[in-house]
Structure 1
Amino acid sequence: MAFEQDGIKQVEVEELKELVKNNVKDPVIIDVREIEEYEEAHIPGLPLIPMQTIPMVMDQLDKEQAYVFVCRSGSRSQNVALYLQNQGFQNVQNYYGGMLAWDGEVSSGPEWIVKDVKELKA
């Protein structure tokens, strides 16, 4: 059951599994961990935009688009959601518990490291 923390909707594991399984485009689900963490294990099909690069690409993201952010424990992704909310993004969500809580399928390697935010609209 979804809940809010600090004004950010928290998505739980079963809800995220449904979003991934149904290959939804709205919300866009983004992994914000470091490249090494992502390459070790990530949810298949999710793009990576490391947390420290978010301020540099923020202007290329659509403020009207819904986003769910994923990290290792749910802390960095919560901070990304809070940051973007403070920048005027209306529909940002956090995957509560992060990869530590994920018990679904994982992939390894550099599947989708975002070089250009336009890739997210494909």
Structure 2
Amino acid sequence: MSYDLDGVEQLDYAELKEIFDQKKSSPILIDVREPEEYIERHIPNVPLIPMQSIPERIEEFHKDAEYIFICRSGTRSHHVALYFKDNGIENVKNFAGGMLAWESETESGWEGQVRDIEGLYSKQT
């Protein structure tokens, strides 16, 4: 069950799985781990935007979109959510357990790092 930490809603596995299974374009799920971690194991079709690249790209994100961040354990993704809020993007959530808590299907290999942030929004229906 979700809870609040530092003003960021924390989602558990069941909540994220329900969102993932709906296959809707919103909220936008983003993996913020390092490429090596992503290649090893990631949630299918969830794009990678490494945490360290976000500060230089924060202005590219739409302020009115909804985002859920994913990392290994939920710590880095929580920090990304806080960073988004500090930069005026309020509708953010964190997958509290991270990939350690993800019990469903995964992929390995490279699906690709997001190079064009606008591409995140072109998939919206």
| Fold shared per TM-score above 0.5 | yes
Over 2 Å off, 4+ runs: none
Structure 2 gaps of 5+ residues are: none
Alpha-carbon deviation of 1:112?
Answer: 3.1
Secondary structure, counterpart of 1:109 in structure 2: coil
1:109 alignment partner in structure 2: 109
1:24 alignment partner in structure 2: 24
Alpha-carbon deviation of 1:22?
Answer: 1.1
2:10 alignment partner in structure 1: 10
Alpha-carbon deviation of 1:21?
Answer: 1.1
- Any residues of structure 2 matched to 1:1-122 within 5 Å, and which? 1-122=1-122
Alpha-carbon deviation of 1:36?
Answer: 0.5
Alpha-carbon deviation of 1:119?
Answer: 1.4
- Answer whether contact 1:46 1:112 (CA < 8 A) is retained: no
Alpha-carbon deviation of 1:121?
Answer: 1.3
In structure 2, give the amino acid aligned to 1:47. P
In structure 1, give the amino acid aligned to 2:117. V
In structure 2, give the amino acid aligned to 1:67. Y
**Superposition TM-score, scaled by structure 2 size:** 0.95
Alpha-carbon deviation of 1:51?
Answer: 0.1
> Distance between the aligned counterparts of 2:81 and 2:115, measured in 1?
20
RMSD of aligned residue pairs (Cα, Å): 0.8
